[in-house]
């Protein structure tokens, strides 16, 4: 098992904030807008540096998405910022018609995704957002794993022409990817080559997959670990190549099982190379209040859950 | 100085197009289309600075129009085609398979003149504000125009957008409400009474004007006043009084023709009231 270490932790939303500021410096067409959550989204730096290119929309997400569609029509590159639930479920039809169907160059940037939002509870903890966004034609869906990767992803989506959903989160998590990484949309990242089981993880679950890989190695299971930062378009070749090599698969995501990354991997396997597969995801239910760690444990998204899933998958070969 | 007769003739041809397009596929929305014909004719033929022959999605250096109530698409398609955006013969493909003239307007088919899909209601004002803000950033003094149904004002997003434009002084924007007082299930008063509509917009920080939307001379006069009122820190809304179905006697003033196509006989009767002026497609 390749060794991964870290010296710092930070939240992925701060990676977004840093990336947004840099994007603003690189391209004068970058504009940003926020529905009264500037601090939570870490958009202060952009707002302070480029006040004329920043739009406070108030708590009116539907209007924010519509305005973003208009700004994009006129050649700007709008980045919208609010919590993931209010970036998706709250405005699904606006995103569908004004962004996805109209194929506008809007970047929907969504923080506090998943259970790790924590104490605010189920009203704010979306675990359905990936499902909604990936089902919209034209929409790219990205879920990076740490601060550095989120910053790199923010810069990459500025360069990409078209609608993007960028999902990130609230808690501080280990920073283990390089600061100078090049982010290639749609290209899965090999973190550890292995022979016994393929673990495809996204977002906050990537670090947990690395931890699981170390435990599995001690148990004599050689896990291949792949970071799926882009859920759509999914790197189908990487999935099939790894699955063919190891013969069984685990998916890991901070999302409902219905409609998540695992669904897509299962679809690819079923159509091309049916193999044993286990999914680490949340059952068909809403979350609740608690600390992020407590919630990840209660809802089955811990390192030990990935280990157990890998062992089940290997046993089914 | 606008040639009122010429504009009226253009509008008459657009009305013929609407009826023939809707009749041909036995579907579409003639009522609102006929009511808004004079206004959109005036916009494209007289009021807006725009470039029909070289369509520019970004609307750099030109005025832009957004149709928020996308269901009155046959009217818009006819005005666009007859203004030079695309060939008039393409009107015959309306609502048919593989057409660029979808039931509701879309950018997905690359139809010149369309900058945003509309159909799901209540979204166009937000879009127009976005374009207006981009024009301010770019130092482009051209204006953004919109059209909304009165029934569409039931949608909450319209008022989110109205609040934004008033609070943030989006003053390069002229919104128009097609105030025909009819919607699908009946009169606006019956379905969802809008009450004192002018007072509502005023309370949101808008400069409110009124216009007779089936009177070409009044349209030209009020739109000139509206243009003159831009750039003063206040967005402008025009309550445009129209008759749904205007121009065809048996369609006027009732919600029944909102989404109903005429029969062969009804089409013939209607076309007799609208003599061909520019040549049918």
Size of interface A-B (CB pairs under 8 A): 118
Same domain, A18 and A104: yes
**Non-local CB neighbours of B273 within 8 Å, separated by 6+ positions:** B247, B248, B249
Whether the Cβ atoms of residue A205 and residue A261 lie closer than 8 Å to each other: no
Q: Say whether B164 and A63 touch across the interface (CB within 8 A).
A: yes
**Nearest chain B CA: its distance from A49 CA (Å):** 15
d(CA A245, CA A196) in angstroms, rounded, equals 8
Nearest to A70 among B107, B119, B128 (CB): B128
User: Can you tell me which residue has the tokens 């009021």?
Assistant: B47
Give B164's contacts in chain A (Cβ within 8 Å). 57-58, 60, 63, 67
Same-domain pairing of A163 and A211: no
Query: Where along chain B do its domains lie?
Result: 4-272
Q: How much is the pTM?
A: 0.97
Dihedral angle of Cα A127, A130, A131, A135, to the nearest 10 degrees: 160
Q: What is the residue range of A141's domain?
A: 9-174
Q: CB atoms < 10 A from the CB of A147, how many?
A: 28
Residues in chain A: 317
* Residues in chain B closer than 8 A to A68 (CB atoms): 130
Q: Do residues A196 and A91 share a domain?
A: no
CB contact under 8 A, A73 and B119: no
* Cβ-Cβ contacts under 8 Å, B117 against chain A: 97-98, 101-102
pLDDT digits (tens, 9 = 90+) for A10-63: 999 999 999 999 999 999 999 999 999 999 999 999 999 999 999 999 999 999
Q: Which residues in chain A are contacts of B156 at CB distance < 8 A? A: 62
Q: Which residue has the tokens 């014909």?
A: B37
Q: Do B134 and A53 touch (CB under 8 A)?
A: no
Asked whether A98 and A69 are in contact (CB, 8 A), the reply is: yes
- Beta pairing class for B173-179 and B236-241: parallel
In a domain, A184, yes or no: no
Chain B residue whose CA is closest to A94: B123
pLDDT number for residue B253: 85
Chain-chain contact of A62 with B160 (C-beta, under 8 angstroms): yes
Give the chain A residue nearest B60 (alpha carbons): A74
Residue pair A146/A177 in contact (Cβ under 8 Å)? The answer is yes
Nearest by CB to residue A73, choosing from B127, B161, B164, is: B127
| A202 and A280 in a common domain | yes
Residue given tokens 């022979």 in the structure block: A195
Q: Across the interface, do A55 and B133 touch by the CB < 8 Å criterion?
A: yes
Residue A1 forms part of a structural domain: no
What lies within 8 Å, CB to CB, of B114 at 6+ separation is: B80, B105, B106, B107
Chain A contacts to B (CB-CB under 8 A):
31, 52-53, 55, 57-58, 60, 62-76, 78, 93-94, 96-98, 101-104
Looking at the structure, do residues A239 and A301 belong to the same domain, yes or no? yes
Question: Which B positions 44-73 lie with beta carbon below 8 A of chain A?
Answer: 57-60, 64
- Say whether both A37 and A93 belong to one domain: yes
Q: How many CA atoms lie within 13 A of B24 on its CB side?
A: 15
Cα separation of A108 and B214, whole Å? 41
In a domain, A182, yes or no: no
| B103 and chain A in contact, CB less than 8 A | no
Residue A74: which H helix or E strand, with range? Answer: none
The CATH number assigned to the domain holding A135 equals 3.40.50.970
- SS3 for A299? coil
Q: How far is CA A235 from the centre of its chain?
A: 15
- CATH number for position A264: 3.40.50.920
Tell me the nearest-neighbour CA distance from A75 into chain B, angstroms.
Answer: 6
Q: Is the pLDDT of residue A130 over 90?
A: yes
Whether B106 contacts chain A with CB within 8 A: yes
DSSP-derived secondary structure for B224-245: HHHHHTTTSSS-EEEEEE--TT
Given a contact cutoff of 8 angstroms between Cβ atoms, the answer to whether B206 and B234 are in contact is yes
Whether B84 contacts chain A with CB within 8 A: no
A71 and A168 in a common domain: yes
Inside any domain, residue A263:
yes
Inside any domain, residue A130:
yes
Residues in chain B: 281
Q: Looking at the structure, tell me whether residues A41 and A99 fall in a common domain.
A: yes
Q: What is the pLDDT of residue B254?
A: 87
Same domain, A45 and A155: yes
DSSP string for residues in chain B: ---HHHHHHHHHHHHHHHHHHHHHHT-S-HHHHHHHHHHHHHIIIII----SSS--TT-TTS-EEEESSGGGHHHHHHHHHHTTSS-GGGGGGTTSTT-SS-SS--TTTT-TT--S---STT-HHHHHHHHHHHHHHHT----EEEEEESGGGGSHHHHHHHHHHHHTT--SEEEEEEE--EETTEEHHHHH---SHHHHHHHTTPEEEEEETT-HHHHHHHHHHHHHTTTSSS-EEEEEE--TTTTSGGGTT-GGGSS----HHHHHHHHHTS--SS---
Contact A63 B129 (CB under 8 A): yes
Q: Cα(A41)–Cα(A202) distance, rounded to whole angstroms?
A: 20
Please name the residues in contact with B41: beta carbons below 8 A apart, sequence gap of 6 or more.
B7, B10, B11, B14, B79, B216
pLDDT at B2: 80
pLDDT for position B1: 66
Low-confidence stretches of chain B (pLDDT beneath 70): 1
A97 chain-B contacts, CB cut-off 8 A = 117-120, 123
Mean pLDDT, chain A, rounded, equals: 98
ipTM for the assembly:
0.97
Q: How far apart are CA B177 and CA B238, in angstroms?
A: 6
**Partners of residue B239 on adjacent β-strands:** B177, B210
DSSP assignment, residue A248?
-
Residue A205 sits in the same domain as residue A235: yes
Asked whether A75 and B137 are in contact (CB, 8 A), the reply is: no
- A3 in a structural domain: no
Q: For residue range A164-192, list pLDDT tens digits in order.
A: 999 999 999 999 999 999 999 999 999 99
Tell me whether B225 touches chain A (CB under 8 Å): no
Burial group, residue B116, by CB count within 10 angstroms (0-12, 13-18, 19+): buried
- The full DSSP string for A122-152 is TTT--SSHHHHHHTSTT-EEE---SHHHHHH
A222 in the same domain as A165: no
Both tokens of A285, joined, read: 């239910």
Phi, psi of A275 (to 5 degrees): -145, 160
Task: Please identify, among A149, A174, A199, the residue that sits at the C-terminal boundary of a domain.
Answer: A174
Interface contact B130-A74, CB threshold 8 A: yes
Pair (A152, A253) in one structural domain: no
Fold of B4-272: Rossmann fold (3.40.50)
Is the distance from CB of B182 to CB of B255 less than 8 angstroms? Answer: yes
């Amino acid at each position: 098992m390749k060794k991964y270490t870290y010296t710092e932790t930070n939240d992925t939303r701060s990676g977004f904030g840093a990336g947004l500021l840099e994007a603003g410096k690189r391209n004068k067409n970058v504009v940003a807008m926020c529905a009264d959550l500037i601090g939570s989204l870490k958009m202060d730096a952009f707002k302070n540096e480029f006040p004329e290119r920043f739009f406070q929309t108030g708590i009116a997400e539907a209007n924010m998405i519509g305005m973003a569609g208009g700004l994009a029509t006129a050649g700007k590159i709008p980045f919208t910022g609010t919590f993931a639930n209010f970036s998706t479920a709250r405005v699904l039809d606006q995103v569908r018609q004004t962004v996805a169907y109209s194929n506008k160059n809007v970047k929907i940037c969504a923080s506090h995704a998943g259970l790790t939002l924590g104490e605010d509870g189920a009203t704010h903890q979306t675990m359905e957002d990936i499902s909604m966004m990936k089902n919209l034609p034209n929409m790219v869906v990205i879920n990076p794993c740490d601060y550095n990767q989120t910053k790199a992803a923010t810069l990459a989506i500025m360069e990409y022409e078209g609608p993007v959903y960028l999902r990130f989160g609230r808690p501080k998590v280990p920073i283990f990817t390089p600061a100078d990484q090049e982010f290639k949309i749609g290209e899965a990242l090999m973190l550890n080559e292995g022979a016994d089981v393929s673990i495809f993880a996204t977002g906050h679950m990537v670090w947990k997959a690395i931890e699981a890989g170390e435990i599995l190695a001690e148990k004599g299971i050689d896990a291949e670990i792949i970071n799926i930062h882009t859920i759509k378009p999914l790197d189908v070749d990487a999935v099939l190549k790894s699955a063919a090599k190891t013969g069984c698969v685990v998916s890991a995501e901070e999302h409902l099982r219905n409609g998540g990354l695992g669904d897509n991997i299962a679809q690819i396997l079923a159509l091309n190379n049916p193999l044993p597969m286990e999914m680490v995801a949340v059952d068909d239910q809403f979350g609740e209040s608690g600390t992020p760690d407590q919630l990840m444990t209660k809802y089955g998204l811990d390192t030990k859950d990935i280990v157990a899933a890998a062992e089940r998958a290997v046993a089914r070969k | 100085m606008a040639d009122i007769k010429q504009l009226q003739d253009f509008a008459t041809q657009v009305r013929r197009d609407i009826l023939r397009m809707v009749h041909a596929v036995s579907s579409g929305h003639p009522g609102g289309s006929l009511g808004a014909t004079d206004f959109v004719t005036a916009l494209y033929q007289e009021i807006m600075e725009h470039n029909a022959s070289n369509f520019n999605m970004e609307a750099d250096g030109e005025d832009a129009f957004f149709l928020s109530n996308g269901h009155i698409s046959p009217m818009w398609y006819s005005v666009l085609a007859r203004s030079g955006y695309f060939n008039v013969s393409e009107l015959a493909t309306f609502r048919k398979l593989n057409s660029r003239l979808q039931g509701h307007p879309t950018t997905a088919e690359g139809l010149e003149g369309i900058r945003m899909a509309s159909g799901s209601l209540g979204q166009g004002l937000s879009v127009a504000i976005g374009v207006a803000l981009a024009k301010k950033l770019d130092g482009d003094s051209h204006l953004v125009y919109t059209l909304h149904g009165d029934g569409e004002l039931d949608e909450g997003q319209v008022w989110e957008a109205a609040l934004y434009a008033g609070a943030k002084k989006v003053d390069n924007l002229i919104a128009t409400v097609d105030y025909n007082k009819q919607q699908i299930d009946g009169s606006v008063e019956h379905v969802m009474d809008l009450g004192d509509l002018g007072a509502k917009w005023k309370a949101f920080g808008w400069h409110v004007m009124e216009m007779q939307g089936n009177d070409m001379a009044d349209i030209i006069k009020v739109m000139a006043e509206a243009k003159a009122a831009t750039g003063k820190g206040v967005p402008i809304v025009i309550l445009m009084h129209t008759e749904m179905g205007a121009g065809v006697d048996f369609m006027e003033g009732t919600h029944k023709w909102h989404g109903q196509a005429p029969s062969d006989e009804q089409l013939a009767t209607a076309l007799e009231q609208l003599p061909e002026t520019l040549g049918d497609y």
